[in-house]
Structure 1
């Protein structure tokens, strides 16, 4: 396996796990790879897709609608219900903000639990994560150019 392939796999795994309740900092892995000269576009695509898959996993757990599973992930029922009012106003657009620390998992679980349409959620979630990693890439390359 080439060093580039290993780096991309590491970034992908980090990005997936960082988008779940598992600990991780995919931004750090992403930035280090950019600083070390790995192609920014392939890193951007891999990180965005990996993080999107992790987020959509949370959506899927919510869609199954079992409180016992949701609570095992550390998300409280009250947190999900509180999001319901906001989701009625924002709908699938909330996926744009699902990358945010602390509340992102709750947003994705709530989107799934309350059956917000899958395709728009998936698209907005992907674009939100793409914008996030794009901003990290821009700032990393600007500072370390």
Structure 2
């Protein structure tokens, strides 16, 4: 795509988006990983598209976007983990059967199950439950970060098709 065409395509964007895209990505990724509603994949994909047209073949820009999204999303998930640690554990018999089964699976597989923390709705609950179950924070952080990073990497790979 020619520079003139890509420049015209970007004219509709507010200037602050182009200047603050990493900050925008971090905030979106962080908030999306908490119990607040959000969808960082849309922001990530939009910024990937923006970088594709404005920085042709700029691997560093894409890496920075991936890194910031992964860190922001992982820290947001660790915030949910911390919320789970602060909540006192209810009596086991007060949980319904499905909740008991879910917690048993999480306790059985431990922090490794946090590879799936990127899943919508379920991922947030996994992070809160892992804190609630008092899973060790370091393996939890490692598996959360791996899962989040792989998800964003997959979005990069799909954008190249």
- In the other structure, the counterpart of 1:23 is 37
How far did 1:83 drift?
2.2
How far did 1:4 drift?
4.8
Tell me the secondary structure at the aligned position of residue 160 of structure 2: helix
2:17–2:24 Cα contact (<8 Å) kept: no
TM-score (norm 1): 0.83
User: How large is the RMSD of aligned CA atoms in angstroms?
Assistant: 2.1
Gaps of 5+ in 1: 69-76
TM-score (norm 2): 0.76
1:15–1:48 Cα contact (<8 Å) kept: yes
- In the other structure, the counterpart of 2:27 is 13
Q: 1:59 and 2:78 equivalent?
A: no
Bigger-Rg structure (1/2): 2
- In the other structure, the counterpart of 2:141 is 122
Structure 1 runs of 4+ off > 2 angstroms?
A: 1-5, 65-68, 77-83
Equivalent pairs, count = 134
Q: 1:99 and 2:118 equivalent?
A: yes
How far did 1:141 drift?
2.4
